[in-house]
Structure 1
Amino acid sequence: MTAIGQSLPRKEDPRLLRGAGRFGDDLQRPGQLHARIVRAPQAHGVLRSVDVSMAVAAPGVVRVLTAADLPDDPRIPVRLTVQGIELTEHLQPVLARETVRYVGEPVAVVLAEDPYLAEDAAELVALDIDQLPVAMDADAGTVAAEFELGFGDTDAAFAEAEHVVELDFDVGRHSAVPLEPRTLLVEPDRATGALEVFGMTKVPVFNRGVLASMLDIDEARIRVHAMDAGGGFGVRGEFYPEDFLVAWLALHTGRPVKWTEDRAEHLVAVNHSRQQQHRISAAFAADGRLLGLRADVAHDNGAYCRTHGIIVPELTLAMLPGPYRVPAYRGRIAVVLTNKTPCGTYRAPGRFEGTVVREQLLDMAADQLGVDPVQLRRRNLLEPAELPHTRPMSTLGTDVVLDAADYPGLLDAAVAEAKRLGYYAQVEQSRAAGKRVGLGVAMFLEKSGLGPQETADVSVGTSGAVRVHSGGTSLGQGIETVLGQITADGLGVSAADVTVINGDTALQPFGAGSWASRSTVVGGGAVHEAALAVRERAIEVAARILEVAVADLTLHDGVVEVRGAPGQRVSLAEVARACQPGSAWLYAGEPAGLAARRRFEVAHMTYPYGAHLAVVELDEQTGGVRVLRYLVAYEVGRAINPELVRGQLIGGVAQGVGGALSEEFGYDESGQPQAVTFMDYLMPTAAEIPEVDVLVTENAPSADNPLGAKGAGEGGLTAAGAALANAVRNALGEAGSVARLPMTPARVRAMLAGEAG
């Protein structure tokens, strides 16, 4: 039995369940100071003055920092430049200097002996702001970038079409709200000027480089330690103003500085996401063949372009055609700056938005063409024989090459599973009983395994224990378990003997981090190759010890033995000891140790895919939407740990239900946020999330990595808005569209009233 493919218990769970996890706010250092951020109370205005005199005089205050105290105007750089578009003039400063552009923008930092004194003193900082007009929607904002992607002759496609279907659709602004808000602790070494940074838990190597550049120190003086994290989902770990400010204060005071974000801060400070306006049209032949697709999108990016730059709008356009056969496509997008919290990625960025728009359009098209929605999709899905399929576009710096897949097969399997579980029968029975019930189907295409590389070390100690140093980070996805299983199979040991250490820049200085569903595909690929290299090295040294040929040896269960002679063996621990300096078994000049570092590089992403089906019931009095049944069918290529794949998918559905039905960051006409507590930002609870049925398939392993794996982190969310929007539309009996997410009770009630009128 191999470890890969087994639902082994998570390595992370014993410490987490016993309260032994190490989260950011758990850490304390002697003599530490506490930071509190002073944030702009207005959405747009000229910052005339920042009066800190009362705050400086407050008890326990050590320092108050404003933009005037910084030697220049440091701005947060973009991590990945796409489409060759320069965004320098739109980057966010770490502290507002002359103008504030959104409620919550950092203006000053108060440093005090304890967090309560810091918070009290922060309220004494007086801001003089002359209010300026606010831009609260894309029509009134500043265009930071415009570009288009596409292929084929769309004009000819639409001229030839027998049917043209058009749709206007808005996706509301929402984002991730992890159980644990952000925390950061930076401890300086007075003797060396080095900084120990705790809490940059997502892309620590990148963040270390940014911080070193902004502080103008060598990156070797900064060691970033990834921590346990109460959820990531895209918003955690990208470089924020606080990441610079806390480190700068620690460096300049010579004392540890800690900052812990409260929930009210989180809701106005971390990256928002999703807000887009779509106008999309599709051209169909008389037989229902899709001839062409056009999309015009306005992406509301908030006040600045942060680390993610314009990744999200690019992904929206590049992934909009989905798994369908689209002969001609043209997508145009405008990235607009408004006076709201800046945007970035949130789990399935760009794909959640594009999928709901495309799949709602297909349901409308099915009605207009008089065909079943599932049949229309099946008619237009790419067939296995057409794959790999190259689309002449690029996204995230890679060409779009759809890898092995059976899209129609998965759709058929999903529908068959839903019928077996009684979804369709339940809809019929409920409607016969006079209930407003609808069923929605949506197909989706994901992306995963983004490069360009990941690096991993695998080593065996003299006790036989195996250690992995990975560049990935643990955000709750089970990366320690998965990488442990991959190592166990590659090296020939038990997964229980493997310890995985993630996100420590001193132990693994070349890691690219965990994001974009890349940990298993790219990080796992690096670990797999490093484990195989250690295996090869162990057998080579064991051959010297046993005085046999390498070809005569096999390694399993932590033991190297002679084939056909099980009594002739050495353990990995013995081999590791034989690899120590001074060993008689080492050749002259041969490096010591039983270890290997390997880098896994990828040129293309993998493209997992799936289908969502949802059954909903509408309350005609309140407009409330109750999700009765939910199914996710997902092709993962190869499931390293099937239960972890299931968990990822179910968690994604929960977030998708929130984004589809209740979660929204609203603003008033002056730019004041209207969702700054959980009284107003309505996350779904256990009462709103149905039991989720999951169908995981491994029928199309990827040829682009040695494991055949495709990412699992985002597929539970990607099509949730689409399936629920189609289910609500079906329950309403709408000929048109639901037009907007989230489908709040007020909006559904308005649609019901319009129907009655």
Structure 2
Amino acid sequence: MGASDFANLPHIGAAVRRKEDYRFLTGAGQYTDDVVLAAQAHAVFVRSPHAHARINSIDTAAAKAAPGVLDVFVGSQVAADNINGLPCGWLITSTDGQPMKEPPHPILAQGKVRYVGDHVAMVVAETLQQARDAAELVAVDYDVLDAVVDVRDAATARAPLHDIAPDNHCFKWAIGDKGAVDSVFAQAAHITKLDLINNRLVPNAMEPRAAIGSYSRANDEYTLYVSNQNPHVERLLMTAFVMGLPEHKVRVIAPDVGGGFGSKIYLYAEDVCLTWASKKLNRNIKWVADRSEAFLSDAHGRDHVSHAEMAMDANGKFLAMRVHTDANLGAYLSTFASAVPTILYATLLAGQYTTPQVYVEVDAWFTNTAPVDAYRGAGRPEATYLLERLVSRCAWELGLSQAEIRRRNFITTFPYQTPVALQYDIGDYPACLAQAEQLADAAGFEARKTASAAKGLLRGIGYSSYIEACGIAPSNIAGALGARAGLFECGEVRVHPTGSVTVFTGSHSHGQGHETTFAQVVAARLGLTPDQVDVVHGDTGRVPFGMGTYGSRSISVGGAAIMKALDKIETKAKKIAAHLMEASDADIDFANGEFTVRGTDKKVTFGQVALTAYVPHNYPLDKLEPGLNETAFYDPTNFTFPAGTYICEVEVDPATGVVKVDRFSAVDDFGTIINPMIVEGQVHGGLVQGIGQALIENCVYDRETGQLLTGSFMDYAMPRADDFPEFKLGHVCTPCTHNPLGTKGCGEAGAIGSPPAVINAVLDALKPLGVKDLDMPASPARVWAAIQQARA
């Protein structure tokens, strides 16, 4: 079945209500903290109050003697049990041919702490309060060292974090032809330059991270309940790389997950500590992060400092671009940390444009901050922010409109090979821009600007034309680029005797609505209703395998695996139907839940075939096994490439610096859309996160001490509903050419395309005052200061 056939099936494109919402809205969801096991103890982690320090000694005697305490664990015990450190899942090779520097990342600190919140000890007690009280009694003697938190200071820091990286440098990586780019720049008619910072963010999912470690002496098996986006990968990393356990002896269960945004992809130290200690104590052990702990210990996002240049001809045609980025990795390499500023960032810097030459160089550094890893978009927002800020600056310097410079440089012929490795299969970028301008009423902007001026306000309009690469595939290419795991997906379709279906998928939902959209896919293929299809995910004990959910891969990769399993189901079901109707299976057609003999009025229903498969009284047993259950793996042949154009209008009060987003229009090309209601919700959520970064969110460490200054919601501003206008959404559809559904992915787009649209709008508003640059977030204080500086 091709993508065009699939798009025309019943249920596809229908706004089916989310099946999972009933249990969520009635309080029947089960999150990790809702799981209560017998004889369950509680863990509390003693965390470093210093950004950088040697550990001279740890005295646990008083804590161990405290009421209810079962034990206190420290790094020396971890080392004695040969528990390895946390692994990085992506190897980057430096430009000199050397592998990146991979310092150990112990689950409990050994000899040194490297950021505020680093794990020093784990206290396990009968109750949570007893564990908290005892944790206060753990006495640690620290020898405080100098800290570095700003990536621009990393190379000159007086106290390096790791012996393996005495200059705090992890790797230098590059892509593109530097000589060719430099040659073009030497002859260019115009060069635009831009320095910018992509600010660090804290993910802040509704549900903080949580885990329960359990061990059964009866069968020497472990179970880990965890708030995680990819339980199979969690199990693989923990067993094969950290604890040295047989994989079949560990079951990872990720129940309902209350948001992740990337921060719950990884194997965290807490997960390993609980699993390891559950055997040592023969107890079930629970840990749930409080919000302050989450601020300190969850993997953060973004944190790039970049310089970018665009070479153009006299007509504004892009000829070459060169970029240098310093990426802050934090104190340790998190699971995908090394891939974010390289493979997931630099390869997207061609954007939607026909720039013939692009050269990107990335230096990655260790600092005394929480590890930095993938956060909604993972490298793609950083690339889009840099490129779209630069493109808008090019337009302003050449006297072109933001729309015109994009139209002059858009890719219009596909497939298109970019100069930074990726090949786009299909798209229609001019159509997205045209629809966005129509939705935004761009033609009426000048009148609205005049009306704002009459109120003493400055109005600006900003554009952003983004593209992202989703699916992270295929496995052989990803492996060649450094991935240490496959990036396929698994799907199992189990048809029951009554004709209802259970689907087992390696993708995992943390808010995307998989239980609905995957049911729609299966129902459409088999002629059922979505209510007849149940979806199971998040349990390594029930799902054959899977690589989880991130990178907007679920429907395009996980859904495609299910489609392949359905192909097998249909093939076998046709053989059964042919036997029942005394025909050749080559003459059997299947549509709308019925098998028919081509050219006749003979037919049997899918339900009849399902029952026959399990009650095989009239069955070709010499040719077919009973049952109707199939499993398939799908490894994509390419990334998918969602794209779109966003247009933002803001009003700025020059007296206070307050920025109000007055209008926001977003047009996306996600290929085939399974459920438009769910897609709309995903885009809304992404827009809120992206605009939040642009205007108010900012993770800040004290530059001298390394203390987290934005460690609570009192200091870290989160966007609220009244910060936004009614979003106007539109869609263009160019179905993906290489997966059976034609889908591209939608979960990250809003967070990718919105930040540059907002900042470009703010700068457009401030341009008459002489303000040329402004880094995110465009808070009132920053905007007001920029205005005062321009006026000085």
Relative to the length of structure 1, the TM-score reads: 0.95
1:30-45 residue pairs with structure 2 within 5 A? 30-45=38-53
The CA deviation at 1:510 is 2.1
Residue number in structure 2 paired with 1:575 = 609
Distance 2:489 2:445 in 1: 42
Residue number in structure 2 paired with 1:192 = 219
Residue number in structure 2 paired with 1:751 = 786
- Indicate the SS of the match to 1:76: coil
The one-letter amino acid of 1:605's match is F
1:118-137 residue pairs with structure 2 within 5 A? 118-137=131-150
- Indicate the SS of the match to 1:278: strand
Pairing 1:149–2:175 present: yes
Distance 1:750 1:102 in 2: 31
The CA deviation at 1:563 is 5.8
Residue number in structure 1 paired with 2:363 = 334
The CA deviation at 1:103 is 0.1
Contact 1:200–1:237 under 8 Å retained in 2: no
Distance 1:673 1:708 in 2: 44
Q: Structure 2: which 5+ residue stretches go unaligned?
A: 1-8, 155-167, 476-487
Pairing 1:159–2:186 present: yes
The CA deviation at 1:91 is 4.2
Residue number in structure 1 paired with 2:448 = 426
1:244-393 residue pairs with structure 2 within 5 A? 244-314=272-342, 315-383=344-412, 385=413, 387-393=414-420
The one-letter amino acid of 2:668's match is Y
Contact 2:92–2:173 under 8 Å retained in 1: no
Relative to the length of structure 2, the TM-score reads: 0.91
How has the CA–CA distance of structure 1 residues 189 and 557 changed in structure 2, closer, same or farther, with 3 Å as cutoff? farther
Distance 1:608 1:83 in 2: 28
Distance 2:632 2:573 in 1: 16
Distance 1:754 1:151 in 2: 39
Cα deviation digits, residues 400-428 of structure 1 (max 9, x gap): 11120111221122112211796564334
Q: 1:411 aligns with which of 433, 446, 451?
A: 433
Contact 1:419–1:425 under 8 Å retained in 2: no
The CA deviation at 1:622 is 2.3
- Indicate the SS of the match to 1:257: strand
Contact 1:168–1:739 under 8 Å retained in 2: no
Distance 2:639 2:754 in 1: 22
Distance 2:544 2:506 in 1: 8
Q: 1:101 aligns with which of 85, 103, 114?
A: 114
- Indicate the SS of the match to 1:733: helix
Pairing 1:706–2:733 present: no
How has the CA–CA distance of structure 1 residues 422 and 229 changed in structure 2, closer, same or farther, with 3 Å as cutoff? farther
- Indicate the SS of the match to 1:235: coil
1:634-713 residue pairs with structure 2 within 5 A? 634-668=668-702, 669-698=704-733, 700-713=734-747
How has the CA–CA distance of structure 1 residues 425 and 15 changed in structure 2, closer, same or farther, with 3 Å as cutoff? farther
The CA deviation at 1:22 is 1.2
Count of aligned pairs: 748
Distance 1:651 1:424 in 2: 30
The CA deviation at 1:569 is 4.5
Residue number in structure 2 paired with 1:29 = 37
How has the CA–CA distance of structure 1 residues 426 and 327 changed in structure 2, closer, same or farther, with 3 Å as cutoff? same
Residue number in structure 2 paired with 1:483 = 518
Q: 1:740 aligns with which of 775, 778, 787?
A: 775
The CA deviation at 1:233 is 0.5
- Indicate the SS of the match to 1:89: coil
Q: 2:91 aligns with which of 81, 92, 105?
A: 81
How has the CA–CA distance of structure 1 residues 459 and 59 changed in structure 2, closer, same or farther, with 3 Å as cutoff? same
- The percentage of counterpart residues that share the same residue type is 34
1:374-523 residue pairs with structure 2 within 5 A? 374-383=403-412, 385=413, 387-394=414-421, 400-419=422-441, 425-451=447-473, 452=475, 453-523=488-558
The CA deviation at 1:492 is 2.5
The CA deviation at 1:48 is 0.7
Say which is worse superposed, 198-207 or 155-164, in terms of deviation. 198-207
How has the CA–CA distance of structure 1 residues 425 and 586 changed in structure 2, closer, same or farther, with 3 Å as cutoff? farther
How has the CA–CA distance of structure 1 residues 736 and 746 changed in structure 2, closer, same or farther, with 3 Å as cutoff? closer
- Indicate the SS of the match to 1:313: coil
Residue number in structure 1 paired with 2:247 = 219
Distance 1:427 1:531 in 2: 55
Residue number in structure 2 paired with 1:397 = none
Distance 1:708 1:324 in 2: 23
The CA deviation at 1:90 is 2.5
Distance 1:542 1:22 in 2: 41
Distance 1:303 1:527 in 2: 39
Residue number in structure 1 paired with 2:200 = 173
How has the CA–CA distance of structure 1 residues 744 and 644 changed in structure 2, closer, same or farther, with 3 Å as cutoff? same
The CA deviation at 1:307 is 0.7
Q: 2:626 aligns with which of 592, 598, 613?
A: 592
- Indicate the SS of the match to 2:707: coil
The CA deviation at 1:389 is 1.3
The CA deviation at 1:82 is 3.9
Contact 1:87–1:309 under 8 Å retained in 2: no
The CA deviation at 1:738 is 2.7
- Indicate the SS of the match to 2:535: strand
Distance 1:609 1:455 in 2: 26
Cα deviation digits, residues 640-672 of structure 1 (max 9, x gap): 111111111110011011111111111112011
Residue number in structure 1 paired with 2:484 = none
Contact 1:49–1:128 under 8 Å retained in 2: yes
